Amino acid sequence: MIVELNDPKVIQIFLVKKINCTTCVSASLDVIKKCQQYPVKIYVEPVCLEEFKSIDYEGINKDELYPFQPEDEKKIDLIIVVGGDGSILWCLKFFQNRIAPPIVTFSKGTLGYLCNFSIKNYEKIIEGLINKIIKKKPLNFEKRARLQAKVTDL
């Protein structure tokens, strides 16, 4: 699969962090720092943006982090999740009206059945991934189906 960018000059990333996880904050900031070495625009949930901006972390341009809003759904080229299976499911709720973009998952949860990578390997994974996207090389992703359920009164 070749990722078709919405803006050919920049990769628009939605970074999702596990809620109430202190170790996920520093891991997410590490991921952001690595991503900002490339032409990217990084969106995060507004509550995470406040949290990230309150922390003194060298090497990150916090002015280049943007609050994710529902209308940004169609702009996103790539999702990066730092957390676990619950964080993956959480981020998918923002993409109800379209097929979700590719998701790269870094495990910081307890089990992580759906998480592909350990956070320990984030630099190598992000570098390879972004370079492939920039060079328009195909990426290997597992395609996963989503079910939609509707509860009605019986």
- Cβ–Cβ < 8 Å for 18, 82: yes
Q: What is the CA radius of gyration of the chain?
A: 15
**Angle of CA points 48, 91, 147, to nearest 5°:** 165
Q: What is the pLDDT of residue 113?
A: 73
Tokens 């070749």, located at residue: 2
What pTM was estimated for this model as a whole? 0.89
- Cβ–Cβ < 8 Å for 13, 76: yes
Q: How many residues does the chain have?
A: 154
Q: What is the pLDDT of residue 99?
A: 84
Enclosing H/E stretch for 65: strand 65-67
Q: What is the pLDDT of residue 109?
A: 59
- Cβ–Cβ < 8 Å for 117, 92: no
Q: What is the pLDDT of residue 125?
A: 95
CB atoms inside a 10 Å sphere around CB 101? 20
Residue-wise pLDDT tens for the chain (154 aa)?
Answer: 788 888 888 999 999 999 888 889 999 999 999 999 999 999 999 999 999 999 999 999 999 999 999 999 999 999 999 998 889 989 998 998 778 899 999 987 566 677 888 899 999 999 999 999 999 998 887 777 666 667 888 6
Query: Within 13 Å and on the Cβ side, how many CA atoms surround 119?
Result: 21
